[in-house]
Structure 1
C-alpha cells in the first residue's frame, strides 16, 4: 500500500487517512476471524507489539519485536482469546498514527470465561503497514480471568 504524502501545509491527505483506516479495520477483522496470516500481512518487516502494563506481569506486557516473535505472540493471543464479539467504536488518524477505541465481549477460550471490556490502541504506520502496536487494556481483569500469578 503506497503512502501518499501530506499536502503543502503538512496535513494528512484524505486518501492516506482512508488507507490507514482500511489497514486498521482489516487488521481488526483478521483478529476477530482468528486469521493469523491476515493479521501478519497487516504488519511491516520489523514490527513492535506490546500490551501496556506493569513489568511484573512479565510475558503479558513484554515488548515483542520482529515478525517471528510477533507471529508466535499472535498465535498465542488468538488461540487464547476469541475477539469475534469485539467492535471498533472509533478510529482517529493523525499523520502516520492511529488511535483505535474498541469494546465488546472477550472470551477466554481455555476456560470459556467471558467479560465485557474496552481497549485503546495506538498504532504507528510505516510503508503502508503497522510498525508499532501498543494496546491499553484492562490487564487486571485479563490476569484474573487467566488465573495468572505474576
Structure 2
C-alpha cells in the first residue's frame, strides 16, 4: 500500500488517482480517498454501481477492476480548479481492452473531484456508457423512428 504524502497539492492527488487507476495499481486508489469518500458514476450501465461510498467499498470496487479490463492508460490530463475551493474538473482519455472480449475500449472522461485535507472527498465521473457496453460485447441500437411526413403549406 502506498504511503500518502499529506503535503501533496490537490491537483497532485487527482493526478495520483488517475495514474493509479490508469495503470491498474488499484491498491493505491482507496488511500487517496477520505474514509467517507464517494465515487459517483451517474452514467454507469447496468451491472456497474452508480455510487460507491466509504474507503473500504471504494477499495473493493477498484480491486475488482483488473478482472474486467486491462490497463486504462489514462492520458491527456487537463485539470482545472472551479470557483469552489477544493473542487476541480479533470478531463482525460483512456485506451484499454476488455478482458472478456479483447475488444478495444477508448473513452473520454469529464470528472468532478472534490479534494479536502489532501484526500478525495467525492469523485463524479462522466463517460460515454455506450462505448463501455459495446466493448463488453453488448449493443445499443436506437428504436426505429417512423418517417415524418412533410406537410405541404399553401
- Interval containing the TM-score (normalised by the shorter chain): 0.7 to 0.9
- Aligned equivalents of 1:35, 1:131: Cα separation in 2: 20
Q: TM-score, normalised by structure 1?
A: 0.77
Q: 1:89 to 1:38 in 2, by over 3 A?
A: same
Higher helix share: 1
Structure 2 residue 100 is matched with structure 1 residue 110:
yes
Equivalent residue, structure 2, for 1:101: 91
Aligned positions of 1:1-150 closer than 5 A: 1=6, 19-53=9-43, 57-94=45-82, 95-147=85-137
- Aligned equivalents of 2:89, 2:15: Cα separation in 1: 12
Q: Is the 8 A contact 1:32 1:82 kept in 2?
A: no
| SS in structure 2 of the partner of residue 147 of structure 1 | coil
- Aligned equivalents of 1:79, 1:49: Cα separation in 2: 19
Which 10-residue stretch deviates more, 85-94 or 40-49?
Answer: 85-94
Higher strand share: 1
Unaligned runs of 5+ in 2: 1-5, 140-154
Q: TM-score, normalised by structure 2?
A: 0.75
Q: Is the 8 A contact 1:53 1:61 kept in 2?
A: no
The count of residues paired between Structure 1 and Structure 2 equals 133
Q: Is the 8 A contact 2:23 2:73 kept in 1?
A: no
Q: Is the 8 A contact 2:19 2:74 kept in 1?
A: no
| SS in structure 2 of the partner of residue 29 of structure 1 | helix
CA RMSD of aligned residues (A): 2.3
Q: Which runs of 4+ in 1 moved over 6 A?
A: none
Report the structure number with the largest CA radius of gyration.
2
- Aligned equivalents of 2:91, 2:125: Cα separation in 1: 10
Question: Following TM superposition, by how much is the alpha carbon of 1:19 offset from its aligned partner in structure 2, in angstroms?
Answer: 0.4
